[in-house]
Structure 1
Amino acid sequence: MRGILFASFGTSHADAQASCLDAVANALLEAEPDALLGQAYTSSIIRRVLLGRGQDVPDVRQALVRMAAAGVDDVTVQPGHLMPGEEFDKLRSQVVDCAALFDRVCVGEPLLSGTADAERVMRVMARHYQAEQGRAVVLMGHGTDRFSNVVYAAMNFHAMLLGRSDLYVGTVEAQPDLDCVMGLLRERDYSRVTLAPLMLVAGDHSKNDMAGDGEDSWASRLRAAGYEVTCNLEGLGQLPDIRAMYAEHARDAEQLTVAAPRELRRGVRHAA
């Protein structure tokens, strides 16, 4: 039996789960309707919060064990992460741990895994946020200390190539940060700024760090600098073109080279 596991960082916001994570998972299933669909969260903190509310969301290892017990022997794991980082490494490690449960295991790439992905996402954002006189659009990404963080600078470059000097990308926890973006904004005559997340879900970072009332939020700092600010709390998972990219990554997923003797696979299945 075929299976598809959509494994994201997760969210504790029910609205974001339905509009973003469930939407992407359903897009994966629409591309392969005969497969058994599963979901997993890689964040242990979010899973603990949800468990306290009575919602038991498995991690990758638990989800794969359950899928194997349900008869899945050929599974594709599609990460919901935007780029290869710590959470994606954790995901791959857990998939490797469970490889013996299946005859075939494939892992798709995160959304932003190459230059073509970065360019395509910026084209999607440029279409979604049409240029308006006197307005800048600032997209908030998460950021990482990994080398893959360079994708954010690349996306700013692609915006420029698209002729969208009004479209900027910044990050919460890396570079370019808001100070960098505000320096670029000051070079042009903007009176208005639209803030939007460059994240799969519009969760805590979007609602607090971006749009919150605190003096350090992006919205508050931009207003203090004299801009009229509006916030769009719409995660990437709500955009059909982004969901299509995840489905394509799942379709093109590469098979793990980890293998185990058939006798071991049977033994692990029995133990599960």
Structure 2
Amino acid sequence: MGKQALLVISFGTSYHDTYHKTIEAICEDLRAAFPDSAFFLAYTSKMIIKKLKKRDGISVMTPAEAMEAIVAAGCDEVLCQTTHVINGHEFYGMLHELRPYLDRIPSIKIGRPLLSSHEDFEAVTDIVLNQIPELSPVDAAVLMGHGTEHHANAAYPAMDYYLKALGGGRIFMATVEGYPTLDDVIAHLKAQHIRRVTLMPFMVVAGDHALNDMAGDDPDSWKNRLSAEGFDVNCMVKGLGELPEVRALFAAHLQHAVDLKELK
């Protein structure tokens, strides 16, 4: 029997507190699920890798560097779990980095991103709903997703639909870089005569977007934009990766990992 590697690939973060609560916690859960595997961690964000090295002297590998280390360790099987939310640019860029190693490692299997099936949407909706305080008729919750120009952005309006269908119609999804936008959501909030809004990140890591773009003091932060529109705003800064139920979904995805050759 050969040697198996467990490779966790994340976009990454330069915030140490949220790293320990999210990425590290996911890694620990996956290592517990696959205790006999050699462990490796990689980030897809070269900007974050560079920042950690320069600021803190911390070295984190890229996916390609991790695969070189796995080859050097003599592994002939790789189980790879991404911590990405959707099947977008970051996910497919990761696959592009891994494909050349199919000639050097007999088996490379991939655990899909968080939102990859109808069952995932239902499960994540239930998990999110359990995090939201009880809402009165004048209360609403707004989740901040990242968003993308990739067609996988469709996951966010789909998630918005699931949240509304199962959450009573006063839970909204908006994105930083895609659709729906915060302006779209503000129009719905006003139409429903909402007065109080709870903001929450819909991201695995509560990093720069959550701390600054959502809850920061800049006039353009979502908190201040909503306040300027007359809403009372409360922020819950907690990454999805902090939730054991979300980490369990990632572990389940890895248990049902797909051969890299089958992913197009």
| Normalised TM-score (structure 2) | 0.94
Aligned-residue CA RMSD in angstroms?
Answer: 1.3
Between the aligned residues of both structures, percent identity stands at 38
Other-structure match for 1:60: 63
The letter for the 2-side match of 1:12 is S
Partner of 1:180: 184
Secondary structure class of the residue paired with 2:6: strand
| Local SS of the residue matching 1:77 | strand
- More displaced 10-residue stretch of structure 1: 42-51 or 122-131: 122-131
Structure 1 unaligned blocks of 5 or more: 259-272
Q: What is the rounded CA distance, in whole Å, between the counterparts of 2:192 and 2:120 in structure 1?
A: 28
Query: Hey, what does 1:263 align to over in structure 2?
Result: none
Pick from 101, 125, 130: which aligns with 1:122?
Answer: 125
Q: Is the 8 A contact 1:131 1:166 kept in 2?
A: no
Residue 109 of structure 1 is matched in structure 2 by: 112
Q: Distance in 2 between matches of 1:131 and 1:177?
A: 24
Aligned positions, number: 258
Does residue 151 in structure 1 map to residue 155 in structure 2? yes
Cα deviation digits, residues 210-246 of structure 1 (max 9, x gap): 0111111100011111111111111010001110111
Q: Is the 1:195–1:230 Cα contact (8 Å) retained in structure 2?
A: yes
- Does structure 2 retain, via aligned residues, the 8 Å contact 1:65–1:101? no
> 2:202 — aligned with what?
198
Give the C-alpha shift of residue 103 in structure 1: 2.2
> Which moves more between the two structures, 196-205 or 184-193?
184-193
**Farther off after superposition, 151-160 or 37-46:** 151-160
- Secondary structure, counterpart of 1:162 in structure 2: helix
Residue type of the alignment partner of 1:122: T
Contact 1:61–1:97 (CA under 8 A) maintained in structure 2: no
The farther-off stretch of 161-170 and 18-27 is 161-170
AA aligned to 2:20 is A
- Between the aligned partners of 1:251 and 1:207, the Cα distance in structure 2 is 33
Q: What is the letter of the counterpart of residue 164 of structure 1?
A: G
Letter in 2 for 1:181: V
**Partner in structure 2 of residue 8 of structure 1:** 10
1:46 counterpart residue number = 48
Residue 148 of structure 1 and its aligned partner are, at CA, apart by 1.2
Q: CA deviation at 1:33?
A: 1.5
Task: List gaps (5 residues or longer) in structure 2.
Answer: none
Residue 164 of structure 2 contacts residue 172 of structure 2 at CA under 8 Å; is this kept in 1?
A: no
**Contact 2:144–2:174 (8 Å) recurs in 1:** yes
Separation in 2, partners of 1:51, 1:159? 39
